[in-house]
């Protein structure tokens, strides 16, 4: 702790300033302001209380999921199965409420966490112990979990009328004007951001993704770290499933389909490298917010719904391309500095 407070008075303040301007987060905030003000200039309703609230509620689920995805991406893996976990958790939690209408909300959240963790264990076992590439393993479980959901749902649906008012109230409620879901997502995001930054366990995610062989030599238990990452990603997705149910009230077997794409896009736009070892949760959260604002701006500006998917794909491609060009330039500069 004392070590960290020392450099504040050191003469490297100009380096600190340039680093701040260089940071991915700053350019994201700039872009965010630009898109928001631009859209608001065309349609002032964009900044109305109701529309901002809706936007934040929608983003909070993606922002939550991006935390787990970042943990996995940092280790050079990927979790494509999150959307299926969200769907299964949302539907089973709904069924639980149908069976026990008096179920307290915290228990429902715990149920989602536990169920998600179980599904995460399946992914973790396949990747960490079965040595199945994460892409193949989670693409497989994406379909298996979704198939299980279809089998369980078998044409049924959970409606808001099946859910107790206390749970629906939790989904739409707020504390001091800030919606509950946003607070929850923010708490998870900040908690994990601090953990990744300042704890040995958190730093290990970066070490595993940068160079897993070196990480082994450094005494890191890579297998266990990988397992933990997938279990956390699953647990967070399970929690997100409960929130999805609380937010929308209605879920069927297709709930959450395609979310994995938005989550990965948000992480990559936020500066989390798909090659592992690089990225922050602050960036990933801002990436989620930026994509949410852009999506909602498109709706406000009355772009047809059919354009949404194409634009999302193009954004993801642009993000990874820019990421690659920037990191390549940084590597070249580093090499030149070393030569001189």
- Which residues contribute to the site for other proteins (CB under 8 A)? 78, 126, 130-133, 135-137, 139-144, 146-148, 150-151, 154, 261, 264-265, 268, 274-275, 304, 306-314, 316-317, 320-321, 324-325, 328
Nearer to other proteins, 214 or 325 (CB): 325
Nearer to other proteins, 296 or 312 (CB): 312
Q: How far is the CB of 149 from other proteins (least distance, A)?
A: 8
Under a CB-based contact definition with an 8 Å cutoff, are residues 92 and 256 in contact? no
Nearer to other proteins, 189 or 294 (CB): 294
Strands 178-179 and 174-175: antiparallel
Q: How far is the CB of 325 from other proteins (least distance, A)?
A: 7
Q: How far is the CB of 326 from other proteins (least distance, A)?
A: 12
Nearer to other proteins, 249 or 292 (CB): 292
Residue 80 phi, psi (nearest 5): -80, -10
Q: How far is the CB of 26 from other proteins (least distance, A)?
A: 24
Q: How far is the CB of 115 from other proteins (least distance, A)?
A: 17
Q: How far is the CB of 142 from other proteins (least distance, A)?
A: 7
Q: How far is the CB of 76 from other proteins (least distance, A)?
A: 10
Nearer to other proteins, 80 or 193 (CB): 80
Residues in contact with 26: Cβ distance below 8 Å, sequence separation at least 6, in sequence order: 20
Nearer to other proteins, 214 or 317 (CB): 317
Nearer to other proteins, 264 or 282 (CB): 264
């Amino acid at each position: 702790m004392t070590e960290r407070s020392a450099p504040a008075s050191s003469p490297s303040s100009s380096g600190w300033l340039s680093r701040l301007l260089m940071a991915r987060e700053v350019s994201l905030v700039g872009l965010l302001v630009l898109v928001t003000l631009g859209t608001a200039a065309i349609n002032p309703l964009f900044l109305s209380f109701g529309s901002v609230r809706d936007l934040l509620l929608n983003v909070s689920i993606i922002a939550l999921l991006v935390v787990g995805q970042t943990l996995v991406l940092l280790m050079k893996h990927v979790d494509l199965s999150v959307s299926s976990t969200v769907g299964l958790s949302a539907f089973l939690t709904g069924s639980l409420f149908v069976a026990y209408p008096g179920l307290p909300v915290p228990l429902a959240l715990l149920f989602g966490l536990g169920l998600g963790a179980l599904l995460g264990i399946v992914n973790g076992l396949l990747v960490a112990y079965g040595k199945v590439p994460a892409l193949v393993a989670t693409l497989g479980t994406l379909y298996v979990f979704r198939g299980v959901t279809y089998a369980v749902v078998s044409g049924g649906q959970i409606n808001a009328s099946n859910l107790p008012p206390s749970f629906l109230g939790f989904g739409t409620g707020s504390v001091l004007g800030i919606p509950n879901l946003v607070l929850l997502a923010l708490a998870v995001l900040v908690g994990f951001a601090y953990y990744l930054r300042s704890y040995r366990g958190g730093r290990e995610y970066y070490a595993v993704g940068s160079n897993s062989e070196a990480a082994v030599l450094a005494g890191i238990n890579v297998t266990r770290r990988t397992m933990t990452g997938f279990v956390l990603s699953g647990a967070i997705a399970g929690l997100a499933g409960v929130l999805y149910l609380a937010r929308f009230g209605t879920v069927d077997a297709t709930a959450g389909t395609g979310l994995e794409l938005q989550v990965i896009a948000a992480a990559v736009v936020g500066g989390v490298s798909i090659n592992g070892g690089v990225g922050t949760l602050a960036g990933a959260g801002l990436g989620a917010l930026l994509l949410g604002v852009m999506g909602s701006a498109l709706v406000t500006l009355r772009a047809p719904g059919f354009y949404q998917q194409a634009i999302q794909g193009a954004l993801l491609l642009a993000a990874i391309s820019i990421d690659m060009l920037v990191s390549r330039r940084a590597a070249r500069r580093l090499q030149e500095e070393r030569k001189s």
